[in-house]
Amino acid sequence: MDQLTTLQHLEYLETGFEVSKILAHAGYRMEAPAFVITWGQVAEVLAHTLADHGLTSDRLDESMLLDLVQGAQKALENDDVLSWRDILRLYTTSDPEIMAFLEPPDMEDDEGPLTELYENATRLGDDEAYWPDGGASADFFDDF
């Protein structure tokens, strides 16, 4: 592990400890689940999905529907399918109080290295230094 990764890991640990401590003092149990999906919610999503595809309950066999629900249960147990980490990150970074602490994005960061080189050359009045290869736009009879 390089030094930057180690420092980042230590920062994660320290910040995680502080956040956990604040939540524990507020009454949140760290081992308690943060969310629960009910079978009613599963049934609603499955019903909407089936209806969107024109499938009604009278067209489906009961065992087929039960197999579908069991497959959905297995899919929901997969951590990657429930992108809760991404949801928490997005929610945290879009919170106005948190955004006040974040650096604003650089709105002019669409410049590449050639644009930067051109701007520096024109500011200095040294346009010829921008054309290092003597390309088509450079004059071959320039006085260097």
Spell out the domain ranges in the chain.
3-99, 102-132
b/e map of 18-34 (b: 16 or more CB within 10 Å)? eeeeeeeeeeeeeeeee
Regions of the chain short of the pLDDT cut 70? 1, 78-85, 87-89, 91-92, 97-98, 100-114, 117, 120-144
The per-residue pLDDT for 93 is 72
The per-residue pLDDT for 143 is 57
Amino acid letter for position 89: R
The per-residue pLDDT for 68 is 79
The per-residue pLDDT for 22 is 87
CB 128 within 8 Å of CB 142: yes
The per-residue pLDDT for 5 is 80
Residue 76: name the closest of 31, 46, 47, 32 by CA: 46
CB 128 within 8 Å of CB 138: yes
Tokens for 7? 């420092």
The per-residue pLDDT for 27 is 92
CB 128 within 8 Å of CB 144: yes
The per-residue pLDDT for 91 is 66
Reported pTM:
0.43
Q: 136 in the Ramachandran plot: left (φ > 0), alpha (ψ -120 to 50) or beta?
A: alpha
